[in-house]
Amino acid sequence: MAMIDGFASMAITGYSWAGIAAYPLAGPLLALRTAKGKEDRARRLERFGYPSVDRPHGPLVWIHAASVGETLAVVGLMRELRRRDINVLLTTGTVTSAELVRLRLDGEIIHQYVPLDLRPAVRRFLDYWGPDIAISVESEIWPTTLGELDRRHIPQILVNARMSDRSFDRWHRHNSIAEALFSKLSLVIAQSDVDAERFRDLGAWPVSVSGNLKVDGDAPPCDAAVLARYREQIGHRKTWAAISTFEGEEKIAVMVHRALKAHVGLLTIVVPRHPERCDELEAMMVEKGLKVARRTRDDAITPDTDVFLGDTIGEMGLYLRLTEIAFVGRSITGQGGQNPLEPAMLGCAVLTGPNVENFRDSYQRLVRNGNARIVRDAEMLAKAVHFLSVNDLARHKMIDAGTETLQEMRGALVATIKGLEPYINPLTVKARLEPRAARQR
């Protein structure tokens, strides 16, 4: 969740932003906030609003997505805008999201790193790019940027919007500040009825509901040759994956593996949320007597490999295709949960801890329909993994329930585009008339 962090004296309509540290739903100062060692130094000037590519002629929509998950959520929306001949400028805040754009959207859209939420950087950015509309994804609200967009009469829209319990409680305690921000949004398109009601309570209007755009996205891809090689190495062994894990959950995965290894000959796949922790995680696993294969070393998975450590970024599609059982982390020792839709898309029975408030709607649907189960601790997780490993019927029933649930949840992209039509239809007309006028001249 993005935060305001260290604002000095940025004011919007008379409000001082000094000392509002740790507020949710606001963009951070990103000069040094990317993961250690992950700053793209060659493109640092983009943080200060200096462009690194030419602005194309014609209408342009600026979309901001914080990182990889938010970027994947709006791929379909960006492609729809391009189909309408509208230029798309995507800003993100992480190197991993920039690499994702390069791999999957190169030549389709323009990518820049998001400028710092400081007036000179924001003005420089807006002066150059001159967007017709600004769209933020999920939970990104930047006070200075929002104020500058409002001053220039550029609509700012929040799509796939969500608000956690914690964020809502904090904003609700400061209603006047919340209303000063949220009332400047031209439109909010929320993921769920609960999210929509929270945005309305805080001053946003109008607010509609689309569902979750991530459901309408494609399943994460993978290299077919690499997948085939690992499947051959794994053979007939039982597998399970602990993905998007946070500190403490890898130890739980090790406990589960050691408890079940003798019973089912298990291979455990661990994909931490932050791969830079993998050296210490491997050391912990080796100390526990486990043999570890790492993806970055291209280690082979041998019959005596205990843990396959997924220490790369952007290969979740590979790791999830190697199993049919996935525990989704940040839900036992962490708070908020992580997205369960990707494992459901890729044919996995989903297990999660109880702390999933950031993805409540998705989990409620998956649990209610039988694709996901909630486990409280390591013991419950071990029992669930063992049961699903040896009970093919139960496992496949959960997988089928996930497929049906995802089908029921689709439609968010259509609903989002419908909500945006009053803003993008004029741009479509303008984009398609301008080339014709140029030819006539």
Which residues belong to the active site?
70
The phi, psi pair for 176, rounded to 5°, reads -65, -40
Instruction: Spell out the long-range contacts of 167-170 with Cβ–Cβ below 8 A and sequence spacing 24 or more.
Output: 167/1, 167/24, 167/25, 167/139, 168/198, 168/201, 168/202, 170/23, 170/24
What is the β-pairing status of strands 23-24 and 3-4? antiparallel
Closest C-alpha among 339, 356, 314 to residue 409:
339
- 77 burial level (CB within 10 Å; 0-12, 13-18, 19+): buried
Query: Tokens 């933020």 belong to which residue?
Result: 136
Q: Helices marked H in 1-94 — which ranges?
A: 68-73, 75-83
Half-sphere exposure of 300 (CA within 13 A, CB side): 6
Check if the beta carbon of residue 154 is closer than 8 Å to that of residue 184: no
Whether 163 and 360 have beta carbons less than 8 Å apart is answered as: no
